[in-house]
Copies of this chain bind each other. A is one copy, B any other.
Amino acid sequence: MFDFKKITIIGIGLIGSSFALAMKKQGFKGTITGVGRNEINLIKAKELGIIDSYSTSHTEAVRNADLILLATPAGQFEQIVTAISNDVQKGAIITDVGSVKAEVTDKLDPLMPEGVSFVGAHPIAGKECPGIEAATAELFNNAKCILTPTAKTDSQALSRVKDLWNTIGTDTVEMTPQEHDLVFAAVSHMPHVAAYALVNAVLDTKDDILQYGGKGLKDMTRIALSPTELWRDICSCNREEMLTTLRNFSSSISKMIALIEGSDWDGLEKEFIRANKARQFIESN
């Protein structure tokens, strides 16, 4: 089922650990090596049976690996790939789980040593709690995994990475890196920024106002609890598409304002109905 012998996962957090657990659950018989800066975390991961061995040295850990999974924050990928490029064996595949694709792909494609293929991937899975404590072999069950090949991507490497993600339960979809970044700016990155902006707009209205917020406001701003550093990085990595989708949202708000200014209640309800129907579609999916 798996034609890999040694998998090296760089970054042993929620996604990296869950990937390792899912591979083992599906019967992967090779070795899984974990790499990270925090040795205590790596020891724990080994004790929990998530990884078979670990190293704090990237170059040492990638030797003889036939699959290298980048599972750190995407901002570190370029530096990591530059550091390991002399030690990656010919025929190996480097793949990732980053949530932004175009900038990363543009940077990583030219850094690949001869005979080494890069395949961009983004499994749409996560949890509110980070880290290995929250890891589970079921994290990817029925999730989508977006693969973002470019003209430079080796088709055999793409097909092997695709098989891997299908085997551990995801439904793979191919998009260009640019298309991926626009789609996820719209359905994820921009809504996060909008949630932060919404909380701030409520705060600016009146002192002590937050105590009056009910379940609706809580649900709508839950993602403003997300780590601010992560979302700062995503905004910086996906700057253009963030701007496009935030401007679209701003226009959508302006349209509502204009309809209320004009007391056009039929026109306003038409906008509400459009959103309401689409949201029901999300609910049923």
Contact = CB atoms under 8 A, between A and B. Distances in A.
Interface of A: 124, 126, 144, 182-184, 186-188, 190-206, 209-214, 216-226, 228-229, 231-232, 235-236, 239, 242-243, 245-257, 260-261, 263, 265, 268-269, 271-276, 278-283, 285
Contacts of A236: 263, 265
A122 to B, nearest CB: 10
Consensus secondary structure, chain A interface = helix
A213 B223 CA distance: 13
B214 A186 contact: no
Contact of A183 (B205, B225, B248): B205
B199 A186 contact: no
A279 B210 CA distance: 9
Given A193-B256, A197-B256, A217 B187 contact: yes
B211 A272 contact: no
12 contacts: A124-B214, A126-B214, A186-B202, A194-B198, A194-B220, A199-B274, A205-B248, A219-B222, A228-B273, A232-B268, A239-B263, A246-B260
Contacts of A281: 210
B212 A124 contact: yes
Shortest 3 CB-CB contacts between residues of A and residues of B? A199-B275, A228-B272, A196-B275
